[in-house]
Amino acid sequence: MLIHKIEEVRNKIREWKSQGLTIGLVPTMGALHDGHKSLIKKSVSKCDKTVVSIFVNPIQFCPGEDLDKYPRTLDADEKLCNDVGVDIIFAPSPKEMYGEGHIMSNDFLTYVTPPFFYVNKLCGKSRVGHFDGVCTVVNKLFNIVQPDFAFFGEKDRQQLIILKKMVNDLNIPVEIIPCPIVREESGLALSSRNKYLSEEDKKEALALSKILFNIKACYKNGIKDCKALTETAYSYLNSNHSLEYLEFRDANDLEEKNIADENTIVFIALKIKNVRLIDNISLGEL
């Protein structure tokens, strides 16, 4: 069932809650791919009812980013959701979420601001205000849908860590379920922004996963020094790549690591032409 209005979702949620049903929420910006599908399937199998939100959230895009050209594929998204048994697709307009006239203005909106220590690094460094926008919209979605469980992909690992912190700090009664990255056979992590890549660009994009897989292999072979591990990346980079960051950080609080251990996540962001891609790997998991 496709719903555009907050009040209609609320009515359905009230009905489900009165029947004691559990509710799963999968927040998305649409352009759904197999990565999203795996999150949705997890929710459908774990919860009595599943809501997928599809909303290209304007306040998490920085000036000059791809808000206008972000892929919008509602018909295909609706079909994917129906095929896997989603109960509600919630696709509000920006006006429905933020009201008239002040979508991009801080003046008229109460924001949720995550701790500076979590946002002054990795993606937050170049995307100033991005995580305020993410936390604000996810908080609103939590208040509208009141889910028992919310499903987020590990592909956006900094986002996931920040949202866990938000839920903990604000005592939000929802359990966040992290879901593993889904990759093409080539290793490329699935992302809606892969739609911007030509076949040639896609080959260049393999550098991200190759760098991460190689770092993990070196770590498993006994190299623990993060500087030495970083150096293994350079042979995968060429003039088509613009490396934004390659960093080793703690899986819980994003503290920088000098010596890698089982609790270390390696984060990478790379631009190919104008397309910015991110990926990460946990050194602890098999």
Strand bridging mode 88-90 / 2-3: parallel
# binding residues, ligand PAF (CB under 6 A): 10
- Binders of ligand PAF among residues 90 to 119 (CB under 6 A) are none
Task: Please identify, using beta-carbon distances, which residue of 126 and 235 lies nearer to ligand PAF.
Answer: 126
- Window of 27-35, 66-74, 204-212, 252-260 that interacts with ligand PAF by CB under 6 A: 27-35
Q: Which of 36, 102, 130, 241 is catalytic?
A: 36
Closest separation between CB of residue 65 and ligand PAF, Å? 12
Helix (H, G, I), strand (E, B) or coil at 103: coil
- Binders of ligand PAF among residues 60 to 89 (CB under 6 A) are 60
Helix, strand, coil abundance in the chain, percent, nearest 5: 45, 20, 35
E strand residue ranges, the chain = 2-3, 23-28, 49-54, 88-90, 149-153, 175-179, 241-250, 264-272, 275-282
Residue type present at position 47: C
Burial environment of residue 157 by CB neighbours within 10 A (0 to 12, 13 to 18, 19 or more): buried
Which of residues 59, 81, 123, 138 is near ligand PAF by CB under 6 A? Answer: 138
Closest separation between CB of residue 29 and ligand PAF, Å? 4
Phi, then psi, of 157 in degrees rounded to 5 = -70, -35
Specify which residues 271 forms β-bridges with.
242, 276
Distance separating alpha carbons of residues 193 and 9, to the nearest angstrom: 29
Phi, then psi, of 58 in degrees rounded to 5 = -60, -30
Which of residues 31, 41, 43, 57 is near ligand PAF by CB under 6 A? Answer: 57
- Window of 4-12, 70-78, 131-139, 210-218 that interacts with ligand PAF by CB under 6 A: 131-139
150 binds ligand PAF (CB under 6 A): no
- Window of 25-33, 106-114, 208-216, 264-272 that interacts with ligand PAF by CB under 6 A: 25-33
Specify which residues 192 forms β-bridges with.
none
- Window of 5-13, 23-31, 217-225, 251-259 that interacts with ligand PAF by CB under 6 A: 23-31
Task: Please identify, using beta-carbon distances, which residue of 55 and 219 lies nearer to ligand PAF.
Answer: 55
Closest separation between CB of residue 116 and ligand PAF, Å? 19
Query: Which residues, in sequence order, are CB contacts of 156 under 8 Å at separation 6+?
Result: 278
Neighbours of 81 (CB within 10 A): 26
Distance separating alpha carbons of residues 159 and 152, to the nearest angstrom: 9
139 binds ligand PAF (CB under 6 A): no
Residue type present at position 2: L
- Window of 7-15, 24-32, 212-220, 257-265 that interacts with ligand PAF by CB under 6 A: 24-32
Which of residues 39, 88, 119, 137 is near ligand PAF by CB under 6 A? Answer: 137
- Binders of ligand PAF among residues 153 to 172 (CB under 6 A) are 156, 159
> Any catalytic annotation for residue 36?
yes
250 binds ligand PAF (CB under 6 A): no
Distance separating alpha carbons of residues 164 and 167, to the nearest angstrom: 5
Residues identified as active-site: 36
Residues lying near ligand PAF in the complex (CB under 6 A) are found at: 27-29, 57, 60, 134, 137-138, 156, 159
